[in-house]
Amino acid sequence: MKKGKLVATSLGPGDAGLITRKAWAVMQSDAMWCYPVRRKGGKSHALGIAERTGLDMPDDALELVFPMTHDTEVLARAWARAADKVVPVLQSGRDVAFLVEGDASTFSTFTYLARYVQSLDADIEVETIAGVPSFNAAAASTSFPLAETDDTVAIVPAGYGLDELEKLLPHFDTLVLLKVKPLLDSVIDWLAAHDLLTDAVFVEKAGAPEERMIRDVVSLKGEKVNYLSLMLVRNPNRERGEMIRGCKKKDA
């Protein structure tokens, strides 16, 4: 019997209109829907995007619990449990559509699930459908140019810390700071120290109906923001040296 395919069904950041035709086709197929939650019975941002399409959630849709923790052992057990639930469906010959917010290749739980699934059955095929990442949607809704001509862009979780941001700043024209919630006040102070407050924009739940955009980022100090928050920062003072046809000129 031919085995089913595990499909990373990227849905974009929140706007159902950003779902690709390919992902839409998978959602309307016989594939079993699987969606991530942080706790059993909890809300799923990915499922919410799918429901905003007007499609009814299939009766046999399966939630997979991936707790919010940095404990690698806890996460490994969660991925293993999820794989144990998904593999029998795939081995029966049915495809599984794992609903992913944003893009499945960008900071997604799907990568770990796929590895565990294939560790249990190496013959199971995995397909990834590209989606719109949250930072692209945020840039579009705020008319923020991520890159122009020879610009460089760094995409980094803000949780890496201010020391890492300090190292990146001299080398990039744009910083995309994901998951800024835990360090928001510190990031704002860091921006102020580098005179970048007017070059930054904060976006919460990009693309979703609850999307919020704040250009006066200082006004966010002390505020509790949503986990799905990011900040786009332009670095107008970066020195790059002389550029020729898109390449940095080499010293003689």
Domain count, the chain: 2
What is the pLDDT averaged over residues 21-43? 94
Give mean pLDDT, residues 115-142: 96
Bridge pairing between strands 32-37 and 96-100: parallel
Q: pLDDT at position 167, please?
A: 94
The CATH number that applies at residue 217 is: 3.30.950.10
Whether residues 122 and 205 fall in one domain? no
Domain annotation covers residue 36? yes
- Has residue 246 been placed in a domain? no
38, 150: one domain: no
**Domain stops at, among 94, 129, 164:** 129
69, 94, 129 — which closes off a domain?
129
Query: Do both 49 and 89 map to the same domain?
Result: yes
pLDDT 10s digits, 71-122: 889 999 999 999 999 999 999 999 999 999 999 999 888 999 999 999 999 9
Q: State the pTM of this model.
A: 0.87
Same domain, 15 and 49: yes
The whole domain housing 187 covers 134-234
- Domain membership of residue 245 (yes or no) is no
Q: Can you say whether residue 245 is alpha, beta or left, with left for phi > 0 and alpha for psi between -120 and 50 degrees?
A: left
* Mean pLDDT over each residue of the chain, to the nearest integer: 92
Instruction: Name 195's Cβ contacts closer than 8 Å, sequence gap at least 6.
Output: 237
Nearest to 210 by CA among 225, 200, 232, 220: 225
Q: Give dist(CA 238, CA 172) in Å, integer.
A: 7
d(C-alpha 4, C-alpha 121), whole Å: 11
pLDDT in tens, 53-63: 999 899 999 99
92 and 26 inside one domain: yes
Q: CATH code at 118?
A: 3.40.1010.10
* 45, 107: one domain: yes
Clarify whether residues 230 and 206 are in a common domain: yes
Same domain, 31 and 145: no
Residues 18 and 96 reside in one and the same domain: yes
The total number of residues written for the chain in this structure: 252
